[in-house]
Chains A and B, each alone.
Chain A
């Protein structure tokens, strides 16, 4: 069996409908406050307009943040399975092939016959590649 490169979402990762409803209500109220602030501004009530615009922006920011955090939790709740590569090499002519890891592979296992010289080929490497996310190196 080929090792799976992706992983399934977890059942525990579901967000409760109450939290979603609360976020939604907060967002609606915040947007309403923004509309009302525009109305207050047009009617010359600048103090109320300022208060409502601040409330509106804080509401939109807070609900977006909570939504973002919930999404982050969903992403984090997965067991990452990185792709593993198997290198097969012919010891006689040096012909090399690289493929995805298959269950039953192990280092120094004799596998297929070489396409070039008909000799038995050997698994010489099994490893995973890790791509470091663009982090700045520390100066020390």
Chain B
């Protein structure tokens, strides 16, 4: 059998179906071409689709980053009334970085980390005071928070851009794939920071401040005094006990150092504290309700861990039991203006605290109640 005949037979078997019209033939060709492309270029096509998706999100991140910068500059101009244009200094601020201490020998790392964070805070505050000379202490704190949110957005944008360009340059499917997979979570976080920007600029209470709100509601109307660092304490009679209610000093954006404040109160009372109750906002799991109140034990405090370490060290020294009440919310709610459900959860948390006091302490005892979180928009 010669080759030409072989081809004719093969062609007729593959493509010439008896009774098929021209349209069906064309469709058949199209299906073959599609299979061919999928077999040999499928991965490349997928790569380009993912690349386009990441590019689209990068546009959005760029827009959010630029908006963040614009809002921060506008707030500085409006509140701080600087003599010169603050834009170059803001751009420099957005690029600030912090190098964490070396952890090869972890002994004493907490104190090194605390020192670095103190230097960072002092530097930020000085920078904001230079940027906004007319701002008062509360406004300086709010502007600092606004700039920190803008800084976070700038960092997210730069990291995603880095991996996008790296993947594009190396044509690596795996780099782009990883970015594309985590993109929904990254975008959620970026959107949360974007809504935080306006809240910080306007001085609105945020979801993270619900712990401070609980403490503020408990201490309102009682005399307060300052305790280190950037915190206030009020002595409040609750259910026949003496409660030292602690929160960061508001209404400016401030988290204070609750670790130092708790240590100070414990040492003032020579360790004679019946229990410590900490209230904080906590990240909820998907499926849980926003504003759900839960109870447990341990130091309910986030951040880099310095304050948690200090609290744990002090309570261990005096063997003081520690309880925690948390109010659940997601990352978006934590940094955006406080939701009604979270605001209302503060009263539920106070009920839980009172119940806890009745169950775990007796009349005449001294207790510490510490509301943890950013106290922006919440006085005392």
A61 within 8 A of B: no
A79 & B195 in contact (Cβ 8 Å cutoff): yes
Asked if B60 contacts A126 (CB within 8 A), the reply is no
Whether A129 lies near B340 (C-beta < 8 A) is: yes
Residues of A within 8 A of B (CB): 1, 3, 10-13, 47-48, 50-51, 73, 76-77, 79-82, 84, 101, 103-109, 125-130, 138, 140
Given known A51-B26, A125-B343, A126-B204, contact A12–B338 (CB-CB < 8 A): no
Given A79-B195, A126-B204, CB of A106 within 8 Å of CB of B251: yes
Return chain B residues, CB-CB under 8 Å to A11: 63
26 A-B pairs whose Cβ atoms sit less than 8 Å apart in the complex: A3-B198, A3-B204, A10-B63, A11-B63, A12-B60, A47-B21, A50-B23, A51-B26, A77-B59, A79-B195, A79-B197, A84-B337, A103-B202, A105-B204, A106-B251, A107-B379, A109-B379, A125-B343, A126-B204, A126-B205, A126-B337, A126-B343, A129-B340, A130-B340, A130-B341, A138-B287
Distance in angstroms between the alpha carbons of A72 and B60 in the assembled complex:
12
CA distance A12 to B336 in the complex (A): 23
Q: Are B338 and A127 in contact (CB under 8 A)?
A: yes
- By a CB distance below 8 angstroms, the chain A residues around B195 are 79-81
- Whole-angstrom CA separation of A51 from B23 in the bound complex: 6
Among B325-380, those with CB < 8 Å from A are 336-343, 377-380
Is B44 among interface residues, defined by CB-CB distance under 8 A? no
Say whether, besides A47-B22, A79-B64, A127 and B337 are in contact (CB < 8 Å): yes
Q: Is B125 an interface residue (CB 8 A)?
A: no
Sort A-B residue pairs by CB-CB distance and give the 4 closest, nearest first.
A106-B251, A12-B63, A108-B379, A127-B343
Q: Which residues of B40-63 have CB atoms within 8 Å of chain A's CB atoms?
A: 56, 59-60, 62-63
Complex: A126 Cα to B191 Cα, angstroms: 21
- Across the two chains, which residue of chain B brings its CB closest to A80? B195
B202 A127 Cβ-Cβ under 8 A: no
Contact residues in A for B26 (Cβ distance below 8 Å): 51
For B251, list chain A residues within 8 Å (CB): 106-109
Closest to B59 in A: A12
